[in-house]
A = this chain, B = another copy of it.
Amino acid sequence: MSPYASRWIRRLAKFAPLTLEEQRLLTELTMAARSFPANDGLMKAGDPCDRVFVILDGLVCRFKLLPDGRRQILSYLFGGDMGDPRQLLLNYTDSSMCVLRPSEISVLTPASMQRLERHPNIALAISRYSLMQQAITNEWLVNVGHRTAFERVSHLLCEIFTRLEAVGLTQDHAFELALTQAELGDTLALSAVHVNRTLMELRRLKLVTFQNRRVIIHDYAGLQSAAGFDFQYLRANEETPGRTSTAM
């Protein structure tokens, strides 16, 4: 079996309790995982959408391209992340997806999704998970719209750290982040040059170093306060007092 299934399970289990049988089903669906090379265009804006991607390992992003080449990255998908299955209800995607680093990806068919949806716990976990993804997009809008370059970079690093920590992809206060500064720029709406200067500044202040595809947070409290980062929006928040799991 795929050695990475546990990350996906771990992600979803934060949002609703999963029985052993449900975990087995998730594991089964990761068996068919395939390797995708960097730069593989998983889907293009406008494509019909008949598949849901589960990223077991590696790094993928969603993005939009303007006619003249400007690119806005809309989200990252790390190990344990998945696309929004509700997209299957539409007949085209509004954004593109692209593999940033060689990745292990399981491609779910609508039939597989239906099997998952039959389990209320899994359905609930996935719904809550994709609500968190929406919350991340909201926060990115705030980030790009109203924070300075320094705050933006700091905030994104806090967010990624928190997300990776949740699936066991951090070591102490360090993690692998295989992004170029140009890609960070397309994410944060900054030029690659300015991302560089900002990273230098963060290093100078001994808050974070980002070198050799590796982020090391030297002063988490300092970084968090520089960013105005509040992890609340990433919280699983599955605890509804006095209810177990059946809304809707």
Q: Give me the interface of A with B, judged by CB distance under 8 Å.
A: 46, 64, 66-67, 70-72, 74, 84-92, 94-95, 110, 113-114, 117, 124, 127-128, 131, 134-135, 137-142, 144-147, 188-189, 228, 232-233, 237, 239-241, 247-248
Q: Which among A67, A86, A233 has the greatest number of chain B C-beta atoms within 10 A?
A: A86
The answer to whether B124 and A89 have CB atoms under 8 Å apart is: yes
Asked whether, in the complex, the Cβ of A189 is within 8 Å of the Cβ of B144, the reply is: yes
- Shortest Cβ distance from A100 into chain B, in angstroms? 18
Q: Given the complex, which residues of B lie within 8 Å of A138, measured CB to CB?
A: 64, 74, 94-95, 137
Question: CB distance B144 to A86 under 8 Å?
Answer: no
Point out the residues of chain B lying under 8 angstroms from A233, CB to CB.
94
Asked, given contacts A146-B189, A232-B94, whether A88 binds B248 with beta carbons under 8 Å apart, the answer is yes
Residues of B within 8 A of A124 (CB): 89
Closest 8 CB pairs of A and B: A145-B189, A94-B135, A72-B142, A70-B146, A144-B145, A72-B145, A94-B233, A64-B142
Nearest CB to that of A67 among chain B residues? B228
Is B90 a contact partner of A131 (Cβ separation < 8 A)? yes
Shortest A156–chain B CB gap in Å is 13
Contact A248 B113 (CB under 8 A): yes
Contact of A89 among B64, B128, B139 (CB under 8 A): B128
Closest residue of B by beta carbon distance from A113? B248
From B91, B117, B142, give the contact of A240 (CB < 8 A): B91
By the criterion CB–CB under 8 Å, are B137 and A137 in contact? yes
Name A237's contact: one of B92, B135, B240, B247 (CB within 8 Å): B92
Q: Are A90 and B248 in contact (CB under 8 A)?
A: no
Determine the distance from Cα of A232 to Cα of B45 in the docked complex, in whole angstroms.
10
What is the distance, in angstroms, from A132's C-beta to the closest C-beta of chain B? 9
| Chain B contacts for A87, CB-based, 8 A | 131
B residues near A66, Cβ cutoff 8 Å: 142, 146-147, 228
Closest to A15 in B: B89
